[in-house]
Amino acid sequence: DIFETMASQTPVQRDVIIAIDFGTTYSGFGYVFLNASQNHIYVFQKWGRGQGMGYGKTPTALLLTEKGEFHKFGHAAVETYGKQAMSKKDCKKLLYFDKFKLLLHSKKDLNERTEVKARNGKKWLALDVFAKCLEYLKKTATDVVNERHLRSEKDNPNTEVMYKPEQIQWVITIPAIWRISAKEFMRKAAYKAGIASPEDPDQLILALEPEAASYYCRKLPFDMFKGQKGKELVKDTLDMEKVPYMVVDNGGGTLDITVHEVNADDGHIMEKHCPSGGTFGGIHVDQEFEQLMIKAFGDDFIRRFQEQFPNDWQVIMNRFEEQKRAEEEVDNDEISIALPLNFIKSCHHDIEEDDDAINERIRRSCPENVSVSSDYLNITMGMLGNLHRPIVTKIAEKMKSLLAKQSLQDVKTIFLVGGFSEAQFLRREISRCFPDKRILIPPDPQLAIIRGAVEFAQEPSLLRARVMGKTYGLNTCIVFDPEKHPLEKRLVSREKVYCRDIFKTLAKKGERIDIDEKRTYNFFPINPDSTALSFKFYSTDEDEADFISDPGVVSENVEILIPSPNTAKGCDRELRVEVKFGGTETNVQVIDVESGNIKMVCLQLVSTSLIHSRFY
**pLDDT value, residue 495:** 78
pTM confidence score: 0.90
The string of pLDDT tens digits covering residues 105-146 is 988 889 999 999 998 889 999 999 999 999 999 999 999 999
**419, 385 contact by CB (below 8 A):** no
Closest CA to 197 of 226, 170, 236: 170
**pLDDT tens for each residue of 145-159:** 998 876 665 555 555
pLDDT tens for each residue of 289-308: 999 999 999 999 999 888 88
Convert 284-341 into a string of H (helix), E (strand) and C (coil). Answer: HHHHHHHHHHHHHHCHHHHHHHHHHCHHHHHHHHHHHHHHCCCCCCCCCCEEEEECCH
Mean pLDDT of 523-534: 85
Which position has the higher pLDDT, 332 or 40? 40
Which pLDDT score is estimated for 89?
Answer: 55
Q: Over the chain, what is the mean pLDDT?
A: 88
Strand partners, 250: 255
| Average pLDDT estimate for 215-231 | 93
3-state secondary structure of 228: coil
* 378-424 residue pLDDT tens: 999 999 999 999 999 999 999 999 999 999 999 999 999 999 998 99
What structural domains does the chain harbor?
14-209 (3.30.420.40), 212-278+399-462 (3.30.420.40), 282-386 (no CATH), 469-602 (2.60.34.10)
Q: How far is CA 249 from CA 255, 271, 399, 431, 439, in A?
A: 6, 15, 11, 16, 13
DSSP 574: -
- The mean pLDDT of 445-451, rounded to a whole number, is 95
Mean pLDDT along residues 23-48: 89
Write down the pLDDT at residue 347.
87
Query: pLDDT tens digits for 462-515?
Result: 999 999 999 999 999 999 999 999 999 999 988 789 999 999 999 999 999 999
Check pLDDT > 70 for residue 610. Answer: no
**What percent helix, strand, coil does the chain show, rounded to 5?**
35, 30, 35
